[in-house]
């Protein structure tokens, strides 16, 4: 299983770690554009040094109830960061956006993967990806970030997520996006209760039946807070446990904040999986 994202070909025979790079203005200092660009770039470089296989750059929070960001503001946040990183790192850069204009500008600036929480449902998004050679991560969400956690409901969460991802993947193939460019993601926390999230992780193998590599994002998410009682800044141990379980359940890529801890934990998983059994 090899993921094709522009010039990068990632052999997903070992688990890969996607490091999260949020580009948001520092609310405590009014240092202007340069400050948030340079601190995001510095953070991104440190994640690469910690062993990140992919960087996911995002300029608009998709957390529940987050305030939407204008197109121009999102471009101003992410494009300088991608431009600065593209010629100094050897790992693919992913752009976390649902806006086709941001996708296009990010690809132009050197992004190799599009991470879309709306699974290319925005008008024009499918065409942008189809007219490029980048990879695409299609994520499931019920509702919108503004409303999704109000009252998520499913008859069968696994079957509904699976059917949605199958339909979006088929749409991509039909538009000319080759199969090795496609990743699927159940979208933990996006219109899902604690029970929905737990069921999805338990039954991740059923999503694998679709035949595409799976990406999982559970890092610091509220389901881990519900299980441990810890605030978002104290969910490292829970997040590492979730990454380990995700990979053991078949995820090929985990999207995380804490790269060093996750990389080390997944080395242990890989070493045990690879070791020939002796008597």
Q: Residues interacting with ligand 8Y7, by CB under 6 A?
A: 58, 62-63, 96, 115, 117, 137, 139, 185, 187-188, 215, 217, 221, 255
Q: Which is nearer to ligand 8Y7, 75 or 113 (CB)?
A: 113
DSSP secondary structure, 114-146, as one string:
EEETTTT-STTHHHHHHTS--EEEEE--SS-TT
Q: What are 99's two structure tokens?
A: 């806006």
- In angstroms, rounded to a whole number, what is the distance separating the alpha carbons of residues 140 and 86? 28
- In angstroms, rounded to a whole number, what is the distance separating the alpha carbons of residues 45 and 199? 35
CB of 190 to ligand 8Y7, least distance (A): 7
Answer yes or no: are the C-beta atoms of 169 and 137 closer than 8 Å. Answer: no
Q: Which is nearer to ligand 8Y7, 63 or 179 (CB)?
A: 63
Q: Which is nearer to ligand 8Y7, 62 or 272 (CB)?
A: 62
CB of 185 to ligand 8Y7, least distance (A): 4
CB of 7 to ligand 8Y7, least distance (A): 21
Q: Which is nearer to ligand 8Y7, 164 or 188 (CB)?
A: 188
CB of 35 to ligand 8Y7, least distance (A): 22
CB of 160 to ligand 8Y7, least distance (A): 17
Answer yes or no: are the C-beta atoms of 213 and 3 closer than 8 Å. Answer: yes
Q: Which is nearer to ligand 8Y7, 85 or 137 (CB)?
A: 137
- In angstroms, rounded to a whole number, what is the distance separating the alpha carbons of residues 174 and 185? 19
CB of 239 to ligand 8Y7, least distance (A): 10
What residue ranges in the chain does DSSP mark as E strands? 2-5, 8-11, 16-22, 54-58, 93-96, 113-116, 135-139, 182-185, 215-216, 253-256
In sequence order, what are the residues at sequence separation of 6 or more whose Cβ sits closer than 8 angstroms to the Cβ of residue 42?
none
The closest of 89, 111, 79, 102 to 42, measured between CA atoms, is: 89
Q: How far is C-alpha 212 from the chain's CA centre?
A: 15
Cα–Cα separations (whole angstroms), residue 209 to 17, 84, 163, 212, 262: 22, 38, 11, 8, 26
Q: Which residue is nearest to ligand 8Y7 (CB)?
A: 217
Q: Which is nearer to ligand 8Y7, 88 or 202 (CB)?
A: 202
Residues designated as active site: 221, 255
Vertex 96: Cα angle to 194 and 84 (nearest 5): 140
């Amino acid at each position: 299983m090899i993921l094709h994202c522009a010039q990068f070909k990632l052999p997903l025979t070992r688990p890969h770690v996607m490091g999260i790079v949020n580009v948001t203005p520092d609310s405590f200092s009014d240092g202007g554009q340069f400050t948030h660009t340079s601190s995001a770039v510095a953070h991104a470089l440190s994640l690469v040094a910690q062993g990140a296989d992919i960087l996911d750059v995002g300029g608009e929070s998709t957390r529940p109830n987050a305030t939407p960001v204008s197109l121009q503001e999102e471009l101003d946040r992410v494009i300088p960061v991608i431009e600065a990183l593209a010629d100094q790192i050897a790992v693919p850069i992913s752009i976390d956006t649902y806006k086709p204009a941001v996708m296009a500008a990010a690809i132009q600036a050197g992004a190799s993967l599009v991470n879309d929480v709306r699974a290319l449902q925005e008008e024009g998004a499918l065409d942008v990806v189809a007219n490029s050679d980048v990879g695409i991560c299609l994520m499931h969400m019920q509702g919108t970030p503004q409303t999704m956690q109000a009252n998520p409901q499913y008859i069968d969460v696994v079957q509904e997520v699976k059917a949605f991802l199958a339909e979006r993947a088929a749409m991509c193939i039909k538009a000319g996006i080759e199969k090795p460019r496609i990743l699927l993601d159940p979208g933990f926390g996006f219109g899902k209760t604690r029970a929905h999230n737990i069921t999805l992780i338990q039954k991740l193998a059923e999503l694998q039946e679709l035949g595409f590599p799976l990406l999982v994002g559970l890092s610091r998410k509220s389901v881990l807070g519900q299980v441990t009682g810890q605030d978002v800044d104290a969910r490292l141990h829970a997040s590492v446990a979730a990454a380990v379980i995700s990979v053991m359940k078949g995820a090929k890529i985990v999207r995380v904040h804490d790269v060093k801890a996750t990389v080390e934990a997944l080395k242990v998983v890989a070493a045990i999986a690879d070791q020939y059994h002796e008597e």
